[in-house]
Structure 1
Amino acid sequence: MSETIRVFAGDCTTTFEGSRSRTQRGRVVVVVKPDRTVLVHDADGYQPVSWLTRPDSLTVETDRSGFGLVARADEQVLRIRSHETSGWAEYPASEAGVPVGSHPQTGEPLVRVGGAVVGLDTETRYGLPAGATVVDETCDDCGLPKISAECGAVFELCVDRACESLDDAVRDRFDDEWTCPDCGSPLSIIRRGGRLLAGCSAYPDCETAFSIPAGVVVDDCDCGLPVFETARGRRCLDGTCAQFE
Structure 2
Amino acid sequence: MESIRVFAGDCTVHFEGSRDRTQRGRVVVVVKPDRTVLVHDVSGYQPVAWLTRADSLTVESGPGSFGLVAHAGEQVLTVESNDVTGRAEYPASEAGIPVGSHPKTGEPLVRTNGAVVGLDSGTEFRLPAGATVLDETCDDCGLPLMRTERGATFEVCIDRQCDPLDDRVKDRFDGEWSCPDCDSPMRIIRRSGRLLAGCDAYPECETAFSVPAGVVVDDCECGLPVFETERGRRCLDSTCEFA
TM-score (norm 1): 0.90
1:25 paired to 2:24: yes
Counterpart of 2:59, as a letter, is T
**Structure 2 CA distance for aligned equivalents of residues 111 and 207 of structure 1:** 40
**Structure 2 CA distance for aligned equivalents of residues 180 and 55 of structure 1:** 48
Q: How does 1:1-245 map to 2 (within 5 A)?
A: 1=1, 3-53=2-52, 54-63=54-63, 65-73=64-72, 76-84=75-83, 86-244=85-243
1:163-206 Cα shifts (integer Å, max 9, x gaps): 00111000111111112223322221111222211122233333
Following superposition, the deviation at residue 72 of structure 1 comes to 4.1
**Does structure 2 conserve the Cα–Cα contact (< 8 Å) formed by 1:119 and 1:125?**
yes
- Count of matched residue positions in the alignment of Structure 1 and Structure 2: 242
Counterpart of 1:231, as a letter, is E
Q: Any idea what SS the aligned residue of 2:8 has?
A: strand
**Structure 1 CA distance for aligned equivalents of residues 61 and 115 of structure 2:** 37
**Does structure 1 conserve the Cα–Cα contact (< 8 Å) formed by 2:4 and 2:31?**
yes
CA root-mean-square deviation: 1.9
Following superposition, the deviation at residue 99 of structure 1 comes to 1.4
Following superposition, the deviation at residue 151 of structure 1 comes to 0.3
**Structure 2 CA distance for aligned equivalents of residues 199 and 228 of structure 1:** 17
Following superposition, the deviation at residue 41 of structure 1 comes to 0.5
Q: Any idea what SS the aligned residue of 2:217 has?
A: strand
Following superposition, the deviation at residue 43 of structure 1 comes to 1.2
- Can you give the 5+ residue segments of structure 2 that lack an aligned partner in the other structure? none
Following superposition, the deviation at residue 35 of structure 1 comes to 2.2
Q: Any idea what SS the aligned residue of 1:167 has?
A: helix
**Structure 2 CA distance for aligned equivalents of residues 74 and 240 of structure 1:** 40
Following superposition, the deviation at residue 141 of structure 1 comes to 0.5
Q: 1:202 to 1:70 in 2, by over 3 A?
A: closer
Counterpart of 1:213, as a letter, is P
**Structure 1 CA distance for aligned equivalents of residues 84 and 3 of structure 2:** 24
Counterpart of 2:214, as a letter, is G
Percentage of matched positions with identical amino acids: 72
Q: 1:196 to 1:62 in 2, by over 3 A?
A: same
**Does structure 1 conserve the Cα–Cα contact (< 8 Å) formed by 2:197 and 2:211?**
yes
- Can you give the 5+ residue segments of structure 1 that lack an aligned partner in the other structure? none
Q: Any idea what SS the aligned residue of 2:169 has?
A: helix
Q: Any idea what SS the aligned residue of 1:171 has?
A: helix
1:59-96 Cα shifts (integer Å, max 9, x gaps): 32231x34333334455443333344611110012112
Q: 1:4 to 1:203 in 2, by over 3 A?
A: same
**Does structure 2 conserve the Cα–Cα contact (< 8 Å) formed by 1:66 and 1:86?**
no
TM-score (norm 2): 0.91
